[in-house]
Amino acid sequence: MTEQGTIIGTFQYMSPEQIEAKELDGRSDIFSLGAVLYEMLTGQRAFQGNSQLSVASAILEKNRPRSASRNR
């Protein structure tokens, strides 16, 4: 059992709503699946950082990467 307000999961695959502890629905799962598929196709994580905080910030603040621009 976890405490209220505790975040559990891998930050690189969390949706913005999950990071902000908002109510989740199926769209959160789709976001996470997209992050996994992006990594599978490009060999790089969609959101990168040197710490969990910087990864969370990248997910919340940055534009979503395009795979075509990463593969050039």
Q: What pLDDT, on the 0 to 100 scale, is given for residue 69? A: 57
Extract long-range pairs of 55-62: CB within 8 Å, 24+ residues apart.
55/11, 55/12, 56/11, 56/14, 56/19, 59/11, 59/14, 59/15, 59/16, 59/19, 60/16, 60/19, 60/20
Rounded percentage of the chain residues whose pLDDT exceeds 70 = 79
pLDDT tens track for 17-45: 999 889 999 999 999 999 999 999 999 99
The candidate with the shortest Cα–Cα distance to 56, out of 35, 30, 33, 25, is 35
